[in-house]
Amino acid sequence: MHGGPFEGGRVDDSLVQLTDVAPTLLDAAGVEDSTVCEQVQGRSFHPDATSAPREAAYAEYVTPQPSIEVLEDRVGPLPDRVYGYDRSIRAIRTDDWKLIRGSDGSRELYRVGDDPDETEDLAADERRLEELGYLQ
C-alpha cells in the first residue's frame, strides 16, 4: 500500500478496540467504496474519520495459545502459577473504569481515570459493582 505522508506527534486518548483497525486502515488508504466499507466492523480512528468516539471498548481473550495441554506436552510439568492463566477473560473499558471478568469467576475493577496503572483492584466493593452494573 502506498499512501501520502503521515504526520507524527498526534496523541489521541479515544477508546479503540481491535475491530477498529480495519476501518482505520481503509480510511488511511483512501478506500471509499461503500460495498467494502460496509463489510467491516468497528470505527475508524483515522484523523479524518467522521465516526463518533466510543463510550466503551471491549476485549476478549478466549483461550491461552498455545493451550496448557500443548505446553505440558512440549515442556513437561508446569509450575502451579501457570494454571492461573488457563481461563478466558472479558473486559470492558470506559474513560473512567475497567472491569475484567474471568471464566473462573474472578473479577477485577479499576478506576483507570485515577489509577491508570491499575494498582488498586476495587472488585471487592460490591456496592461499587452494583453502581457500575452497566459495565456487566
Q: What is the pLDDT of residue 99?
A: 94
Q: What is the pLDDT of residue 35?
A: 82
**129 & 75 share domain:** yes
**120 & 67 share domain:** yes
Q: What is the pLDDT of residue 1?
A: 47
Residue 125 lies inside a defined structural domain of this protein: yes
pLDDT bucket at 28, cuts 50 / 70 / 90: confident
Q: What is the pLDDT of residue 74?
A: 93
Return the higher-pLDDT residue of 57 and 4.
Answer: 57
Residue 7 lies inside a defined structural domain of this protein: no
100-131 tens-digit pLDDT: 999 999 999 999 999 999 999 999 988 888 87
| Nearest Cα to Cα of residue 131 among 101, 105, 96 | 96
The Cα 68–Cα 74 span in angstroms is 10
Residue 109 lies inside a defined structural domain of this protein: yes
Q: What is the mean pLDDT of residues 82-93?
A: 89
Q: Give residue 102's domain range.
A: 57-135
Number of domains, the chain: 2
The pLDDT of residue 51 is above 90: no
Residue 41 lies inside a defined structural domain of this protein: yes
Percent of the chain at pLDDT above 90? 43
**40 & 61 share domain:** no
**82 & 99 share domain:** yes
Contact 103, 110 (CB under 8 A): no
Burial 44-72 (b: 16+ CB within 10 A, else e): bbbeeeeeeebeebeeeeeeeeeeeeeee
**81 & 124 share domain:** yes
Lowest mean pLDDT, pick from 1-15, 29-43, 68-82: 1-15
**70 & 124 share domain:** yes
Return the higher-pLDDT residue of 44 and 133.
Answer: 44
**35 & 102 share domain:** no
**67 & 107 share domain:** yes
